[in-house]
A and B are shown apart, each in its own frame.
Chain A
Amino acid sequence: DGGITQSPKYLFRKEGQNVTLSCEQNLNHDAMYWYRQDPGQGLRLIYYSQIVNDFQKGDIAEGYSVSREKKESFPLTVTSAQKNPTAFYLCASSSGLGQSNEKLFFGSGTQLSVL
């Protein structure tokens, strides 16, 4: 079945540690996105990539980094510079927004907590 897989489901970070969240899709989508979700704040865009080897900052990119070496994969690293990393992280993909039949497909999320 086609879809988006995020792993792990739960992740714990120690002070000063970098952690990487995995996102893999087999939908052959060009565009991939990372969102952060905090209670009562909806989803905020961290980074997005519309094509392999290219990505752009979203609204809250500070303290995060990404790579897009393969079409199927868009890992997110939460660095030690992110002082408040506890949140639910959602990855999404689409074949390209702005088209009349387009929509985002979401993964099931990763809950990151600080020890």
Chain B
Amino acid sequence: AQSVTQPDIHITVSEGASLELRCNYSYGATPYLFWYVQSPGQGLQLLLKYFSGDTLVQGIKGFEAEFKRSQSSFNLRKPSVHWSDAAEYFCAVEYGNKLVFGAGTILRVKS
């Protein structure tokens, strides 16, 4: 069955430091991949998506993600984290007409 794994439940980084959130997926075909961000008590906002083409995808708020087929990964990165980036981040893969989400990674930013 298709699945998405986010191995880190919590991550804490210092403001200004770089960030990488991991995502691995299980899917036979070329996947459509997404990263979403959620602030507490709110819905999800799309950060970026990968459908095809260039494996390095740029998103909003300075985020980027790299699709690595050989590793079945789609890790999210940001070179310099801001305190406002503190939130929960979800990786998702589309199959059929549905999205399958990972369990999420909570990002804490310390000043």
Q: Which A residues fall within an 8 A CB radius of B? A: 4, 31, 33, 35, 40-45, 48, 50, 58, 88, 90, 92, 96-98, 100, 103-104, 106-109, 111
Contact = CB atoms under 8 A, between A and B. Distances in A.
Contacts of A108: 41-43
Given A42-B90, A100-B52, A48 B97 contact: yes
Contact of B45 (A41, A43, A88, A106): A106
Contacts of A31: 97
26 contacts: A4-B43, A31-B97, A40-B9, A40-B103, A42-B90, A43-B44, A43-B99, A45-B98, A45-B99, A48-B98, A58-B98, A90-B44, A96-B97, A97-B94, A97-B97, A97-B98, A97-B99, A98-B94, A98-B97, A100-B52, A103-B34, A103-B46, A104-B44, A104-B99, A106-B45, A107-B43
Interface string B93-111: 0100111011110000000
B41 A109 contact: yes
Interface of B: 4, 6, 9, 32, 34, 41-46, 49, 51-52, 90, 94, 97-99, 101-104
Given A42-B102, A108-B43, 16 more contacts: A4-B43, A33-B98, A35-B101, A40-B104, A42-B90, A43-B90, A43-B101, A44-B101, A50-B97, A58-B98, A88-B41, A97-B94, A100-B51, A106-B43, A107-B43, A109-B41
Most A CB atoms within 10 A — which of B34, B99, B104? B99
Contacts of B41: 88, 108-109, 111
